[in-house]
């Protein structure tokens, strides 16, 4: 790791001030950033630790509105009783991230801000039409995830929470890369008053995306059979040594089918 | 440089360290607690697992500065007095280790796992929960056996496999 | 057997330090004044070094030295060598290219060490390493052994024309050709045995310390054989004379072969310590391990087997290309020859065999022995062949094997080996019973209802352990003898130290070796210490690999115990005024048989050291040494059965049961033996399903971390069902055959036979990843 200056932010405003310096980076759970720094692939001049800001933590469920603080860990999301009741698919998704130790440190805000193309949360937020709340504004998930490791966040902008409206039904299934255990394909399906939304992570060559084919099939009939009947195009899917685009395309259908089965309980 | 101050294995420790110092290096090099190991660069192998504020984390993926103010337990501080912790005893009795390099992380992960599952553990859950710990010697067979035995010894509960 | 003696499931003595965090590995060692090293490594697979500028690096904070290959050569440090001479079939010696510990003019694989930087901290050493400026002139690279000999392929070493190291054969070509002429059936097979990275969990490390006052060197290193390291570093690399060099391999976190070899880093750290005047420690990070640890396997093989009309094997032809990487590692030439082709008779009566092996340079990491070393490759050829043949003939896989089993011993194969004892049918029967083989069709039907493809596969392996005798291996080209040493020291109070040349890096020697002593003298295990891994304590030894520590290492201890026992009985007889022939040792007491006259063990020991009352002419003390050189290899064998369920939608393979029935000869500690089998199977399953080292065409390693190289995790594996049906080995005093590698040898073909059975076709290469199995299932229209 290159030399770096560590700062512990006491509040969101403090963090924003500290992040003003050039090449400063926000540090939440650090589960992606620190490994990248260890291998010298990331070299921020300053790290601004958001992990001790009480305002960024916690989950509130009020009616159908779920708010998850940005510094809430995956383990906290996976085990939150109210959330498990309101949107069990999100708790389930969180329980599948990394491993128990990673889930104790990694946070939803960190994952969303990083927008790794194989991360799980972006699929949930996109499929649920979530709102990403920052210290400056609120951004709809549809506008937030803009490409590989790219988001609508501006320099110095900090995610403070994520807000979700509970759907009627939702499910998430992923197929892991055998080595890294990140998603090769993860499919989040959600059925709500405004119809069916399906988001796919791990597969798109521009990151998380909505599958119009699956949305229209499942909009007609929210059944595993309907999902199974969709042939997803391999165009615009990633291809690497672990999974070709064709394989990913096939897995999208299979995972969608399983996610719908799960959603339908 | 950062001034870090933690409680490690019940003792308060303070030091000035380079900001880039990882918790694992602080434990090993500043405190001489060399039971916590480094087996990979990508936060996957789990040889470095310690408990920070009661939760298992990978000490290779956390700065010492981040941990300042926390309470840390390492493999050296797991047992009380001369007696082995029940998880340590179960690893020995069930031959849950060979070369011993992954063992401290395994035991710290197992202790955390057992604590998170007061209802008891079954084989599938143990295997699933070992996602973040790699062993090259044992094929996991006896590690799984040891964790199930320890879980039973500690809570008197185990689920049928 | 007593509760701590031979055959007892004794919990390990060494565990206490490992489970409490008190183990001491090389990275845990601190020497006053110690500094940290980082190596600058080649980013190119093949390039000329046009220039090296170290000025900027030298000016970085904390730096004590930035040293290059030219300085190393100027100090007379030698090249790394391969210690086993192989001659090609035309009689010419193998073509070994020069391997400088730090590259001087040319780099030949990604990771080749070029410069060492020594600094106060590891971070500073790395910071400075980035400031070393090396200008490279890139050259074309080749990574695939099947292309490396092509016309126009890049030439890697001037010594080896067309990158061919040797073209070796074994067996009888004419007899084999004649056998094929008479064949009713010929079964053909093309296979790739995938390249693996050993991945001991402790990365390699070295700490070199030159003590100016004493003019003496100490090297702490992650080694499976510290004495061989000392010998080689002295005799070939000119680092230090043997009497001035102490090598210590303390607790070592797994080896699996990869820590047998002497690598550039330990040589360079020792040399750099003298050069910079400070002790120098280097610890690999995981990516350095991936790039530079000796890899394993990497064979391309074509094989043909001839059968008569009744399906008896008539002959076997094998052509193998073995990729040895960019340089010849210490025992790299032995692995694809004498450890591979000599096992191509499998468990079967095969009248004629001919095998040809071409060893080839490529621009990849050096390849050497990895758990099993040659024997997994041979077993994969044989057991895929038998399975495919059975399927082609419409016979049950068990029956075809049974029909061809060797049943009479000793059995001389056409490829050197003389099998001394075994009962292959017993293992096959035990495995089939344990696996409920008969119930498989029902289980398959049940799985089909759930949309899963269920398959079953077997593998009947044989291997050879405890390579020996020394004179024989010497005649085959080995540069060393393969005996083992032991010294048994009985202290004045009766406690015992056993010094052994074997080295434990997970095998539990501190327990099993002590069990031998307990069995013999009744001394409690706590009073027996096993000393190993330090050339200043143990005079000489050959280390631990090839499942040799039981069969060879413990046999040496037995010889030393025999001598101690003889002297102890003489002393006791003198003290008890009895005939030494009447003395027996029971529960820690020397007794006159049939009487109540006795002397406790500790009292006899004290008498040996007070020397007040010893038999006339007897030297005081009680310490004996032995060197044991075996008379033959040992031949563990067994049958493994794997049952899988394949999800055709995802290609995911689940191992639903894995049965191992082994013949290891006599067993000292069944618990430890089972642990060895578990670990071996996990590595074999890893090879079959998960693991593979892959280079791209330019020579970059694509699988250089756990993000891309799949290590077996707990959820990839089932619990294993083990049993043994043992026939004692006749060639060593304990009847031990060895158990360290069997799991890795026997399991890969069982797994692949199971998956191909599930899929209904044979076209599947290792590792059988979900993607490949999905594609294969689609091709088979599942």
**Among A2, A242, A254, whose Cβ lies nearest the Cβ of C650?**
A254
- How far does the CA of residue A130 sit from the closest CA of chain C (Å)? 30
| Interface check A234 vs C, CB under 8 A | no
pLDDT, tens digit, 9 for 90 and up, residues B47-70: 999 999 999 999 999 999 999 999
pLDDT at residue C266 tops 80 = yes
Beta carbons within 8 Å of C213's beta carbon, 6+ residues apart: none
Beta carbons within 8 Å of B29's beta carbon, 6+ residues apart: none
pLDDT at residue C419 tops 90 = yes
Radius of gyration, alpha carbons of chain B: 16
CATH 3.20.20.70 fits B2-77, yes or no: no
**Among B42, B93, B95, whose Cβ lies nearest the Cβ of C706?**
B42
Contact between chains at C769 and A178 (C-beta distance less than 8 A): yes
- Give partners of A (≥3 CB pairs < 8 A): B, C
CA distance C400 to C346: 13
CA distance C610 to C627: 28
> Which C residues 1-40 touch B at CB under 8 Å?
11-12, 14-25, 27-28
pLDDT at residue number C1: 53
Cβ burial C207-216 (10 Å sphere, 16+ → b, else e):
bbbbeeeeee
Contact between chains at B91 and C672 (C-beta distance less than 8 A): no
**CA-to-CA dists, residue A53 to A44, A80, C544, C686, angstroms:** 21, 20, 54, 44
Return the structure tokens found at C61: 């904070």
Residues C176/C413, Cβ–Cβ less than 8 Å: no
Residues C370/C297, Cβ–Cβ less than 8 Å: yes
Strand positions, DSSP E, C308-443: 313-325, 352-361, 411-412, 418-419
Nearest CA in chain A to C286: A39
Band (pLDDT 50/70/90 cuts) for residue A172 is: very high
DSSP C111: T
Contact between chains at A179 and C771 (C-beta distance less than 8 A): no
Q: Residue A139 belongs to what H/E stretch?
A: strand A138-140
Q: Give residue limits of the domains in chain B.
A: 2-77, 86-155
**What is the interface size between B and C, counted as CB pairs within 8 Å?**
179
Return the structure tokens found at C617: 């002419």
Using CB atoms within 10 Å of the CB of residue C188, give its burial: 0 to 12 exposed, 13 to 18 middle, 19+ buried: exposed
- CA proximity to C89, closest of C178, C163, C180, C172: C172
- CA proximity to C94, closest of C281, C359, C322, C326: C359
Residues A34/A43, Cβ–Cβ less than 8 Å: no
Beta strand pairing call for C245-248 and C216-221: parallel
pLDDT at residue C204 tops 90 = yes
CA distance B141 to B121: 15
Return the structure tokens found at C479: 């540069």
Band (pLDDT 50/70/90 cuts) for residue B161 is: very low
pLDDT at residue number B159: 57
Residues C281/C205, Cβ–Cβ less than 8 Å: yes
DSSP C215-233: TEEEEEE--S-HHHHHHHH
Beta carbons within 8 Å of C150's beta carbon, 6+ residues apart: none
- Give partners of C (≥3 CB pairs < 8 A): A, B
Return the structure tokens found at C402: 């049974």
- CA proximity to A44, closest of A102, A72, A85, A4: A4
Backbone angles phi, psi at C503, to 5 degrees: -130, 130
pLDDT, tens digit, 9 for 90 and up, residues A240-250: 999 999 999 99
pLDDT at residue C188 tops 90 = yes
pLDDT, tens digit, 9 for 90 and up, residues A206-215: 999 999 999 9
Using CB atoms within 10 Å of the CB of residue C566, give its burial: 0 to 12 exposed, 13 to 18 middle, 19+ buried: exposed
pLDDT, tens digit, 9 for 90 and up, residues C347-385: 999 999 999 999 999 999 999 999 999 999 999 999 999
pLDDT at residue B157 tops 60 = no
CB atoms within 10 A of CB C183: 17
Residues A130/A90, Cβ–Cβ less than 8 Å: no
| Interface check C287 vs B, CB under 8 A | yes
CB atoms within 10 A of CB C369: 28
| Interface check C62 vs A, CB under 8 A | no
Nearest CA in chain C to B93: C11
**What is the interface size between A and C, counted as CB pairs within 8 Å?**
42
Chain A neighbors of C771, CB-CB under 8 A: 242-244, 247
CA distance B17 to B65: 8
CATH numbers and ranges of domains, chain A:
5-49 (3.30.43.10), 56-165 (3.30.465.10), 169-263 (3.30.390.50)
| Interface check A239 vs C, CB under 8 A | no
Contact between chains at A35 and B116 (C-beta distance less than 8 A): no
Strand positions, DSSP E, C157-312: 164-171, 185-193, 205-211, 216-221, 245-248, 280-283, 299-307
Q: Which of C450, C650, C695 to mutate to test the interface with A (most CBs of A within 10 A)?
A: C650
Return the structure tokens found at B42: 């990508």
Q: What percent of chain C has pLDDT over 70?
A: 100
Contact between chains at B43 and A34 (C-beta distance less than 8 A): yes
> Residue length, chain C?
782
Backbone angles phi, psi at A49, to 5 degrees: -80, 120
Residue B28's SS3 state is helix
Contact between chains at C711 and A179 (C-beta distance less than 8 A): yes
Chain A neighbors of C123, CB-CB under 8 A: 1, 3
Backbone angles phi, psi at A247, to 5 degrees: -65, -45
First vs last C-alpha separation in chain C: 55
pLDDT, tens digit, 9 for 90 and up, residues C167-181: 999 999 999 999 999
Q: What is the mean pLDDT of chain C?
A: 97
Q: What is the mean pLDDT of chain B?
A: 95
- CA proximity to A105, closest of B73, B62, B130: B62
Angle at C406 between CA C400 and CA C410, to 5 degrees: 175
Chain A neighbors of C774, CB-CB under 8 A: 247, 250
- How far does the CA of residue B21 sit from the closest CA of chain A (Å)? 9
Correct CATH for B86-155 of 3.30.470.30, 3.40.50.150, 3.40.50.2000, 1.10.150.120: 1.10.150.120
DSSP B84: P
pLDDT at residue B80 tops 90 = no
CA distance C430 to C433: 5
pLDDT, tens digit, 9 for 90 and up, residues C517-528: 999 999 999 999
Q: Which of A6, A53, A54, A72 to mutate to test the interface with B (most CBs of B within 10 A)?
A: A6
CA distance A51 to B55: 15
Contact between chains at A241 and C708 (C-beta distance less than 8 A): yes
- CA proximity to C102, closest of C118, C122, C116, C119: C116
Chain B residues with at least one Cβ partner in A under 8 Å: 2, 18-20, 22, 41-44, 46, 49, 55-58, 60-63, 65-66, 68, 109, 112-113, 116, 129, 131-133
> Residue length, chain A?
265
| Interface check A41 vs C, CB under 8 A | no
Comparing C110-114, C403-407, C542-546, C681-685, which segment has the lowest mean pLDDT? C542-546
pLDDT, tens digit, 9 for 90 and up, residues C674-695: 999 999 999 999 999 999 999 9
What distance lies between CA C22 and its chain's CA centroid?
26
pLDDT at residue number C697: 94
Q: Which of B51, B134, B139 to mutate to test the interface with C (most CBs of C within 10 A)?
A: B139
Chain B neighbors of C123, CB-CB under 8 A: 18, 20
A181: left (phi over 0), alpha (psi -120 to 50) or beta: left
CATH numbers and ranges of domains, chain C:
31-139+202-253+259-292 (3.90.1170.50), 373-464+633-779 (3.30.365.10), 483-628 (3.30.365.10)
Residues A91/A78, Cβ–Cβ less than 8 Å: yes
pLDDT at residue C295 tops 60 = yes
Beta strand pairing call for C652-663 and C721-724: parallel
pLDDT at residue number C675: 98
Contact between chains at B76 and C672 (C-beta distance less than 8 A): no
Judge if the upstream peptide bond of residue A43 is cis by omega within 30 degrees of 0: no
Laid out side by side, the sheet with C63-68 consists of: C63-68, C113-119, C35-41, C280-283, C205-211, C216-221, C245-248
Q: Residue A8 belongs to what H/E stretch?
A: strand A5-8
Q: Which of A29, A33, A104, A106 to mutate to test the interface with B (most CBs of B within 10 A)?
A: A104
Chain B neighbors of C719, CB-CB under 8 A: 123, 141, 144-145
pLDDT at residue C597 tops 70 = yes
Place of tokens 């969101």: A12
ipTM of the complex as predicted = 0.97
**Among A4, A49, A104, whose Cβ lies nearest the Cβ of B20?**
A4
What distance lies between CA A183 and its chain's CA centroid?
11
pLDDT at residue number B160: 44
**Among B18, B41, B129, whose Cβ lies nearest the Cβ of A100?**
B129
Return the structure tokens found at C466: 């405890």
What distance lies between CA A30 and its chain's CA centroid?
15
Beta carbons within 8 Å of A97's beta carbon, 6+ residues apart: A74, A103, A106, A111, A119, A120, A121
Chain B neighbors of C24, CB-CB under 8 A: 34
What distance lies between CA C414 and its chain's CA centroid?
25
Residues C692/C194, Cβ–Cβ less than 8 Å: yes
- How far does the CA of residue C691 sit from the closest CA of chain A (Å)? 9
Residues C329/C128, Cβ–Cβ less than 8 Å: no
Residues B72/B27, Cβ–Cβ less than 8 Å: yes
- CA proximity to A90, closest of A63, A66, A57: A66
Beta carbons within 8 Å of B45's beta carbon, 6+ residues apart: B39, B102, B105, B133, B134, C201, C286, C706, C711
Contact between chains at B76 and C20 (C-beta distance less than 8 A): yes
Residues C433/C639, Cβ–Cβ less than 8 Å: no
Band (pLDDT 50/70/90 cuts) for residue C638 is: very high
Beta carbons within 8 Å of C22's beta carbon, 6+ residues apart: B35, B76, C16
Contact between chains at C12 and B42 (C-beta distance less than 8 A): no
First vs last C-alpha separation in chain A: 46
């Amino acid at each position: 790791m290159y030399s770096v200056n560590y700062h512990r932010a006491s509040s969101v405003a403090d963090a924003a001030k500290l992040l003003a310096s050039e090449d400063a980076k926000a540090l939440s759970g650090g589960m992606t950033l620190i490994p990248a720094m260890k291998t010298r692939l990331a070299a921020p001049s300053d790290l601004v630790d958001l992990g001790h800001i009480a305002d960024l933590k916690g989950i509130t469920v009020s009616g159908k509105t779920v708010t998850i603080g940005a510094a809430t860990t995956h383990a906290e999301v996976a085990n939150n009783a109210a959330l498990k009741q309101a949107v069990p698919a999100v708790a389930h998704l969180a329980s599948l991230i990394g491993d128990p130790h990673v889930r104790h440190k990694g946070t939803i805000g960190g994952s969303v801000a990083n927008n790794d193309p194989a991360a799980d949360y972006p699929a949930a937020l996109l499929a649920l039409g979530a709102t990403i709340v920052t210290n400056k504004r609120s951004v709809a998930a549809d506008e937030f995830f803009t490409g590989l490791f790219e988001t609508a966040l501006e320099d110095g902008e900090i995610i403070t929470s994520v807000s979700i409206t509970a759907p009627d039904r939702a499910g998430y299934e992923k197929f892991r890369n055998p080595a890294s255990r990140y998603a090769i394909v993860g499919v989040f399906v959600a059925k709500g008053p405004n119809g069916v939304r399906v988001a796919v992570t791990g597969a798109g060559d521009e990151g998380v995306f909505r599958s119009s084919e699956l949305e229209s099939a499942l909009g007609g009939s929210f059944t595993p059979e309907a999902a199974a009947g969709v042939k997803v195009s391999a165009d615009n899917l990633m291809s690497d040594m672990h999974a070709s685009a064709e394989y990913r395309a096939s897995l999208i259908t299979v995972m969608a089918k399983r996610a719908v089965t799960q959603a339908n309980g | 440089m950062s001034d870090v101050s933690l409680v490690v294995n019940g003792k308060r420790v303070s030091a000035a360290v380079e900001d880039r110092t990882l918790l694992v290096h602080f434990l090993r090099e500043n405190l001489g607690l060399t039971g916590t190991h480094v087996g990979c660069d990508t936060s996957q192998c789990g040889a470095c697992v310690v408990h920070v504020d009661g939760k298992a984390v990978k000490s290779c993926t956390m700065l010492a500065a981040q941990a300042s103010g926390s309470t840390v337990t390492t493999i050296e501080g797991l047992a009380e007095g001369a007696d082995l912790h029940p998880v340590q005893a179960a690893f020995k009795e069930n031959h849950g280790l060979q070369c011993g390099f992954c063992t401290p992380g395994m035991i710290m992960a197992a202790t955390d796992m057992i604590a998170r599952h007061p209802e008891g553990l079954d084989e599938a859950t143990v295997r699933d929960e070992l996602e973040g710990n790699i062993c090259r010697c044992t094929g996991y067979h006896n590690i799984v056996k040891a964790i199930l035995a320890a879980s039973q010894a500690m809570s008197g509960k185990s689920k049928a496999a | 057997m007593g509760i701590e003696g031979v055959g007892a499931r004794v919990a390990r003595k060494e565990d206490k330090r490992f489970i409490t965090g008190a183990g001491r590995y090389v990275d845990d060692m601190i020497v006053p004044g110690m500094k940290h090293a980082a190596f600058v490594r080649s980013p190119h697979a093949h390039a000329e070094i046009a220039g090296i500028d170290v000025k900027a690096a030298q000016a970085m904070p904390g730096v004590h030295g930035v040293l290059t290959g030219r300085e190393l050569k100027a100090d007379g440090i030698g090249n790394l060598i391969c210690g086993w001479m192989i001659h090609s079939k035309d009689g010419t010696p193998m073509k070994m290219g020069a391997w400088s510990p730090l590259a001087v003019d040319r780099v030949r694989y990604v990771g080749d060490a070029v410069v060492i930087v020594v600094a106060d901290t590891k971070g500073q050493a790395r910071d400075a390493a980035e400031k070393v400026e090396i200008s490279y002139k890139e050259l074309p690279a080749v990574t695939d052994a099947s292309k490396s000999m092509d016309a126009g392929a890049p030439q890697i070493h001037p010594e080896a024309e067309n990158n061919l190291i040797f073209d070796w054969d074994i067996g009888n070509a004419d007899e084999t050709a004649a056998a094929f002429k008479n064949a009713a059936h010929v079964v053909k097979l093309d296979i790739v045995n995938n390249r693996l990275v050993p991945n001991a969990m402790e990365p390699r490390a070295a700490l070199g310390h030159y003590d100016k006052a004493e003019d003496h060197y100490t090297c702490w290193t992650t080694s499976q054989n510290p004495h061989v390291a000392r010998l080689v570093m002295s005799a070939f690399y000119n680092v230090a004379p043997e009497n001035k060099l102490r090598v210590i391999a303390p607790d070592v976190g797994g080896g699996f072969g990869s820590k047998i070899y002497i690598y550039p880093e330990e040589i360079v750290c020792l040399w750099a310590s003298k050069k910079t005047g400070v002790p120098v420690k280097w610890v690999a990070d995981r990516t350095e391990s991936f790039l530079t640890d000796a890899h394993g396997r990497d064979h391309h093989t074509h094989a043909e087997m001839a059968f008569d009309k009744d399906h008896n094997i008539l002959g076997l032809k094998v052509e193998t290309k073995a990729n040895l990487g960019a340089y010849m590692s210490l025992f790299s030439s032995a692995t694809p020859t004498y450890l591979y082709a000599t096992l191509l008779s499998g468990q079967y009566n095969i009248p004629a065999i001919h095998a040809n092996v071409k060893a080839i340079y490529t621009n990849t990491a050096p390849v050497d022995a990895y758990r099993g070393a040659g024997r997994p490759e041979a077993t994969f050829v044989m057991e895929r062949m038998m399975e495919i043949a059975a399927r082609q003939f419409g016979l049950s896989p068990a029956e075809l094997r049974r029909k061809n089993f060797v049943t009479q011993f000793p059995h001389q194969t056409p490829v050197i080996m003389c099998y001394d004892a075994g009962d292959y049918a017993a293992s096959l029967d035990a495995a089939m019973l344990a696996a409920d083989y008969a119930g498989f069709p029902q289980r398959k039907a049940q799985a089909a209802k759930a949309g899963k493809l269920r398959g079953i596969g077997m593998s009947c392996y044989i291997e050879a352990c405890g390579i020996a005798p020394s004179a024989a291996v010497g005649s085959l080209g080995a540069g060393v003898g393969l005996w083992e040493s032991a010294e048994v020291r009985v202290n004045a109070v009766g406690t015992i130290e056993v010094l052994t040349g074997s080295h434990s890096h997970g095998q539990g020697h501190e327990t099993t070796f002590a069990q031998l002593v307990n069995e013999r003298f009744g001394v409690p295990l706590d009073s027996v210490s096993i000393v190993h891994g330090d050339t200043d304590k143990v005079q000489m030894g050959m280390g631990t690999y090839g499942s040799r520590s039981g069969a060879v290492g413990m046999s040496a201890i037995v010889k030393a115990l025999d001598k101690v026992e003889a002297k102890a009985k003489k002393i006791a007889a003198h003290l008890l005024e009895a005939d030494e022939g009447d003395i027996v040792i029971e529960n820690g007491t020397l007794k006159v048989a049939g009487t109540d006259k006795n002397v406790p063990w500790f009292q006899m020991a004290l008498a040996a050291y007070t020397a007040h009352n010893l038999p006339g002419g007897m030297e005081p003390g009680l310490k004996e040494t032995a060197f044991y050189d075996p008379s033959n290899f040992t031949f563990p064998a067994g049958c493994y059965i794997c049952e899988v369920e394949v999800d055709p939608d995802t290609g995911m393979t689940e191992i639903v049961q894995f049965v191992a029935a082994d013949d290891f000869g006599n067993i000292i500690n069944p618990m430890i033996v089972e642990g060895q089998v578990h670990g071996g199977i996990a590595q074999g399953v890893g090879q079959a399903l998960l693991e593979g080292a892959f280079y791209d065409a330019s020579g970059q390693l694509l699988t250089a971390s756990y993000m891309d190289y799949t290590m077996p995790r707990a959820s990839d594996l089932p619990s294993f069902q083990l049993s043994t049906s043992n026939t004692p080995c006749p060639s060593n005093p304990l009847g031990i055959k060895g158990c360290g590698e069997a799991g890795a040898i026997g399991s890969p073909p069982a797994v692949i036979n199971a998956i191909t059975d599930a899929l209904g076709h044979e076209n599947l290469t290792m590792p059988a990843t979900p993607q490949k199995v999905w594609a294969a299932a689609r091709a088979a229209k599942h």
